Amino acid sequence: MDSKALPKYQAVHDEVLNRLEAGMYSVGTRLPTEDALAKAFDVSRVTVRKALDMLVQTGYVTARQGSGYVVSTLSPPSTTCLVSFTDQVIREGRMPGAKLLGIEAPAKMLPPDVAALFDGDVTLIRRLRTVDGKPVMLVRTWVPSHLVAGINAADLPESGQDQSILRILVRRFKMQWSRACEVISSLIADAEVAELLAVQPNTPILSQACTAFDEQQKPVFYDQVYRQSPITYNLDKAAPNRSAGQTAG
């Protein structure tokens, strides 16, 4: 750890964050104790605590009395303005999955809402999200093709914490966005959606459409989620940076 150019707490923070992003600590696991980190970085516990508090403020970890610091997400809303479905499921102690149904590049037919958003070619990614092996969400993600050039099945893991579409877009394709808007509505499941979600045709389900924009207010992706389960929001008054609770599939 090179601490010459940075305050010690900032250097510790940056190194722990690097380890999080490198996959050394998984969602739901505990970080090493303050004592262990202090010894590893050759700093005081006060310095370590300040570094970890910064990670708490940005949403990466949660401080739990008696349990230390627990990794809560690798894609906190403070950095993406969206909540990772993958991380939510892992925190609940369950197993998320993401079966790839297909990549269409470019997409041949665009729904009116998608066509109105984007200029140029758009790539469609279709995935079936599961929890403990059971289908819960059908996700269709449209992205301008030039932002995901060369995307293929190898870029879309079907298991593990890196299946999150947020991390795929940020890490693999260096995509950034600053805000998102969401529309939630109800609809009747058609034959295809009903079969994939293992429900009867014409079953009422929820549609959750999320559009993310970059700093120039250009749309960078449109996420359409069909789900049979209810949507729950947890608005934490103590953490205003996390009030944007849209969930990305």
pLDDT beyond 70 at 41: yes
Structural domain ending residue among the three candidates 25, 41, 71? 71
230 preceded by a cis bond (ω within 30 of 0)? no
Q: Do 199 and 132 fall within a single domain?
A: yes
Same domain (yes/no): 115, 198:
yes
In the chain, count of helices (H) and strands (E)?
8, 10
Q: What percent of the chain has pLDDT over 70?
A: 88
* Predicted local distance difference test score (pLDDT) of residue 79: 64
Q: Which domain holds residue 236?
A: 77-248
Give the count of domains, the chain: 2
Beta carbons of 213 and 219 less than 8 angstroms apart: yes
Q: Give the distance, in angstroms, between the CA of residue 156 and the centroid of all CA atoms in the same chain.
A: 13
Rounded (10°) angle between helices 34-41 and 8-21: 110
Query: Over the stretch 187-220, which tens digit does the pLDDT of each residue have?
Result: 899 999 999 999 899 999 989 899 999 989 999 9
Q: What residue has token string 């103590």?
A: 238
CA distance 166 to 220: 12
Asked if the model's pLDDT at residue 133 lies above 80, the reply is yes
> Is pLDDT of 4 > 90?
no
120 plus 190 within the same structural domain: yes
Query: Is pLDDT at 128 greater than 50 in this prediction?
Result: yes
Task: Indicate the pTM of the whole model.
Answer: 0.74
d(CA 28, CA 91): 5
- Whether 53 shows a pLDDT value over 50: the answer reads yes
Residue 35 sits in a domain whose CATH number is 1.10.10.10
